[in-house]
Amino acid sequence: MSQALPIILGNWKMNGLRAEGDALTRSLLRGLVERQGSGTLGICPPATLLSTLAKVLDGSSVKLGAQDCAVESEGAFTGDISGRMLVDAGCSFTILGHSERRHDRHGRGESSELVRAKVGAALSAGLDVVLCIGETEAEWEAGETLGVLDRQLEMSLPAQVSAEEIILAYEPVWAIGTGKTPTIDDIAGTHRHLRGRLRSLVSSGAGIPILYGGSVKAANAAEILSIDDVDGALVGGASLKADEFLAIWQAGQTA
Ligand code: PGA
């Protein structure tokens, strides 16, 4: 993925039928014409919309990403979608290790080992990866955040990655979709810590962008995006409204 900062990515999760996805994407493209800016903007719609929206985005600078990627490249894996298929559908990157897949109440329960295998598979297919890590509310309250993040990072990140193909997203589980966020000082401290870990884990670690995610919206984006080691945002709910998402993009321009 282009390393132009800030990197603002929308994770649509399981939202959007064809007409809605098409309208939202076209509104984004119209809004961007009026709001020239630098950085990287991308959307991760549900898999059913990828091919359609790849056509809508064709010729624009907006990147198209997936929300998950199988370990295998093809074969008898009912329901899975491989990296090759995502590239074929027009994706240039994929989110992996999102907490809604790590901690799913319907039994997905993806381990960091599985996430690492998926990261390897996605990279081999030619996709860039947005690797998500984050602590639960109980871990946060117990003061275990940095230890939990270190373990998830060490276990999910393949040893050989280059800064051009990977982005780290710190998303506290308790901040996702809740309207709650850590304080600016907390986010700054956690990102500083993660920058140090990335430096010692991989040779190009200093250059790996680190996004914050969890209840980012237009109203708090400027403050969050102005933090030193915050290179962008992974946005859920607020990415489903073109105006709100564009306002976050705009906030990143001045932050
Ligand atoms: P949210 O989700 O912005 O709705 O909190 C963020 C995410 O899950 O990536």
Determine the pLDDT at residue 2: 60
Top mutation candidate among 8, 11, 225 for ligand 1, by most atoms within 8 Å of CB: 11
- Ligand 1 centroid – CA 213 distance (Å): 6
Q: Which residues line ligand 1 (CB under 6 A)?
A: 11, 171, 176-177, 213-216, 234-238
Q: What is the mean pLDDT of each run of 10 residues along the chain (255 residues)?
A: 88 98 98 89 98 97 98 97 98 97 84 96 98 97 98 93 95 97 98 97 92 98 97 98 97 86
- Ligand 1 centroid – CA 236 distance (Å): 3
Top mutation candidate among 101, 171, 178, 245 for ligand 1, by most atoms within 8 Å of CB: 171
What are φ and ψ of residue 119, in 5° steps? -60, -45
Determine the pLDDT at residue 34: 86
DSSP string covering the chain, please?
A: ---PSSEEEEE--S---HHHHHHHHHHHHHHHHHT---SEEEEE--GGGHHHHHHHHTTSS-EEEES---SSSSSS-TT---HHHHHHHT-SEEEES-HHHHT-TTS----HHHHHHHHHHHHHTT-EEEEEE---HHHHHTT-HHHHHHHHHHHHS-SS--TTTEEEEE--GGGTTTS----HHHHHHHHHHHHHHHHHHSTTGGG--EEEESS--HHHHHHHHTSTT--EEEESGGGGSHHHHHHHHHHHHH-
Determine the pLDDT at residue 35: 84
Is residue 167 within 8 A of residue 194, CB to CB? The reply is: no
137 is catalytic: no
Query: For residue 217, which atom of ligand 1 is closest to its CA?
Result: 3
